[in-house]
Amino acid sequence: MIAIIDYDAGNLNSAYKALVHLGKEPVITREREEILAADHIILPGVGAFGEAMKQLRSFGIPEVLHEAVDKGIPLMGICLGMQLLFDDSEESPGASGLGILKGRIVKIPDTPGHKIPHMGWNSLEMQKKSRLFTGLAEGTEVYFVHSYYLEPAEEEIVAARTQYGASMAVAVESGSVFGCQFHPEKSGILGLRILENFVGL
């Protein structure tokens, strides 16, 4: 069973439909028992970092996700969901993230020719052999919608980067924890392959 975390701040339908397209039977849930019984967990997210963390806490989800990680259940954060895996964000000063991985979220620099938010397709620069990218080539293009990006405390967790006014870490892998700043569920056939790789772990 694949649990998609419902905390009233996520774009649930696109992830749900992508998984159904892959022949899976995802469950949208915020229930502790269902989350901890899952084979895989996806944490989607749209909106602001601080408000999303407030919503997660209101449902008691941070503790459940930490417990799931301790159990080794594969967890993937998508877009804001990836950002929430880390310590904090410039978007919401004073708001703590989940702290499952170490690093902070910073604003994309204002540079000529680069509109913010970053919306559209960009190519991936693979940084290490990641299980998410099995069967994908260097330069695979994926779809982004974001204004903030990750500055990791540990470069070794970075699975891929992209260039957009800065070299941005846009995918991570650390043990059973994964993150994609881009939207695999909106990235066509190759994005579906990334999701398939994840749920195949």
pLDDT tens digits, one per residue of 157-174: 999 999 998 999 999 999
Check residue 11 and give its pLDDT: 75
Question: What is the average per-residue pLDDT within 45-52?
Answer: 93
Q: Which of 40, 118, 146, 183 is catalytic?
A: 183
Check residue 173 and give its pLDDT: 98
Residue 183 annotated to the active site: yes
Check residue 113 and give its pLDDT: 85
Question: Whole-prediction pTM value?
Answer: 0.96
* Paired strand residues for 90: none
Q: Which of 79, 118, 173, 196 is catalytic?
A: 79
What's the mean pLDDT when you consider all of the chain? 96
Question: What is the average per-residue pLDDT within 149-155?
Answer: 97
Check residue 152 and give its pLDDT: 98
Check residue 168 and give its pLDDT: 97
Residue 79 annotated to the active site: yes
**Where is pLDDT greater, at 46 or 72?**
72
Percent of the residues in the chain that have a pLDDT greater than 70, as a whole number? 100
Check residue 179 and give its pLDDT: 98
Confidence of residue 178 (pLDDT cuts 50, 70, 90): very high
Domains contained in the chain, CATH given: 2-199 (3.40.50.880)
Question: What is the average per-residue pLDDT within 94-103?
Answer: 97
